[in-house]
Each structure stands twice: as structure tokens, then as C-alpha cells.
Structure 1
Amino acid sequence: MDKLEPLKSSLNTLRLSETKENLIKVLIEITKLLPPSDDVAITVGKKGTHEYVIDRKGLAIITTSQDEYLPFLSSSEKRISMEQLPDDVAKKVISDISSLLVQLRDILKAQARRNPSYGLLASEVDLIAKS
């Protein structure tokens, strides 16, 4: 079976019915395709100082703030369930789902330098993003 078939299927479902539940199915399929590394994540959306990202472990919020008296930025990460993705962020992602696929393709291309099997996967994701 094609490794990308579940992603294609969930994308088709999302195109037919643009709901948050269908978006969550797409996000879950994308997390399954990410390489086994803690160094990669895909930005789903931003809202104020919060950035929503997905990685192999699921969805997280990264909150960035500038320290009051120092010229440093600090950030914290909090794991949340996919259902906790804000509705307005979900709507924005649904309207531009190809940006997630492009980020996935770029991550797979970078991984292909270490493991050539990811090169073919990156090419297939690129074709899906363009369709």
C-alpha cells in the first residue's frame, strides 16, 4: 500500500467538507510522515505570541515572550490535543492547506540527504501539494 494513501484520502475528505475534524485527520496523517527526529516541526499557524506546531508527538503551542529587562526572548512549549486547536487558526489552515504540505516536503527533502528513501516521499508530497 502507498505510504501516502491515508494522507491523500484525508485531504480529499477535507476538500469535500472543510471542517475542523477533517483538518485534524490531515494533521494526524502528516505527523505520521515526519522523520524520527525531535528537531523538526511544521508550523500550523500563529495567533499573537502563540505558535501552533505539529511534530511526531502531536500538536504543541510555543509561546514566545520578551523578557522585561533583558534583550532576550524566552519561549515555552505546551502539548495540547488536536481538538484544542483554535477554530480561527483551523479555518486559516484549511484555506491554505498547501503551505503545510510544502513544509512537509521541505522537511522530507532535508531528511533525504541522510536517508535517500525520503527523497521519493518528498517528490510525492510535492505532487500532492501542487494538485
Structure 2
Amino acid sequence: MSELQNVLKKMKLKGDKESTIDFLKTVARLLPPSDDYGISLTKKGVHEYVLDRRGVVIISLSLEEYLPIFSADSKRIEYNEIPEDVIKVIKTNWKQILGQLRDYLLEYSKIDKKYLEVADQVNSVIFENI
């Protein structure tokens, strides 16, 4: 967990894109081993940026023109393709990102108890950096 602590401090101190990407990569590695979990980074118009175990995906929602239903498209992007305005939001919302991670780890700990300890460690990182 010291790696998460270190990348968070580096991101808060430097605030550049590279340190933010390092933070995201570290968070992605801590996600439970399931495709059911994705951390919402931010919403920008009809696009939502989501972090999962394989990286960043943009999910676009649209309302069908003549039907009362939504359709969704997704596009996987490289970390360096994340727009600067999204990077700024990530730097500001690090507590919410780590909070989502902690909640997913707690949920997954019902299946595998070792994730309860990881969730506690993430929670400690949050409180040490408030």
C-alpha cells in the first residue's frame, strides 16, 4: 500500500499528467479481479470516463431519437489520451476515486476475505491524506 501512498503524494505535489497516470495505474492494479468493477472518474457531457483493471474506457450514452431508450457505446483509450480537463478533475477528486475503490474491495471481500485488508489499507491512505 506504500506504492499507492507514494503515487498519491507525488500526484498531489507535482500535479502533472504523468503523476496522475501513475496514480490511475496503481488504482487499476488494486481493483478486484472481476470485470464487474469500474471506477467512475468523471462525466463530460454524454461521455463518462471509467477506470477498470485494463485501463480507461469512455462510455457514451445517447437517447434514441424516437424511442425512450438509451444506447451506450464504449471506447478504450490509452492513459496518455486522457484529456487535460479530465486529468484536472482526477487530481481534484482523488478521494472519491479511492472511496469507490475501497467500496468495491469491501464488496469483493465477501467472496475473498483477503480484500478486506486491502480495503482497510486504502481507507488508511484516504484518511492520512485528507
TM-score (norm 1): 0.95
Per the alignment, residue 82 of structure 2 pairs with 85
The residue identity in structure 2 corresponding to 1:27 is: L
Following superposition, the deviation at residue 5 of structure 1 comes to: 2.0
Please state if 1:34 is matched with 2:31: yes
Please state if 1:125 is matched with 2:122: yes
The residue identity in structure 2 corresponding to 1:42 is: I
Q: Percent same amino acid among aligned pairs?
A: 38
The runs of 5 or more residues in structure 2 that have no matched partner are none
Per the alignment, residue 112 of structure 2 pairs with 115
Per the alignment, residue 55 of structure 1 pairs with 52
Following superposition, the deviation at residue 75 of structure 1 comes to: 0.3
Deviations 1:38-72 (A, max 9, x none): 11000111100000001011000000000001110
- Give the alignment partner of residue 24 of structure 1, picking from 21, 25, 32: 21
Following superposition, the deviation at residue 127 of structure 1 comes to: 1.2
Following superposition, the deviation at residue 16 of structure 1 comes to: 1.4
- Give the alignment partner of residue 70 of structure 1, picking from 67, 72, 78: 67
Distance 2:77 2:22 in 1: 16
The runs of 5 or more residues in structure 1 that have no matched partner are none
Q: Which runs of 4 or more aligned residues in structure 1 lie more than 6 Å from their structure 2 counterparts after TM superposition? A: none
Per the alignment, residue 106 of structure 1 pairs with 103
Distance 2:114 2:73 in 1: 34
Following superposition, the deviation at residue 96 of structure 1 comes to: 2.0
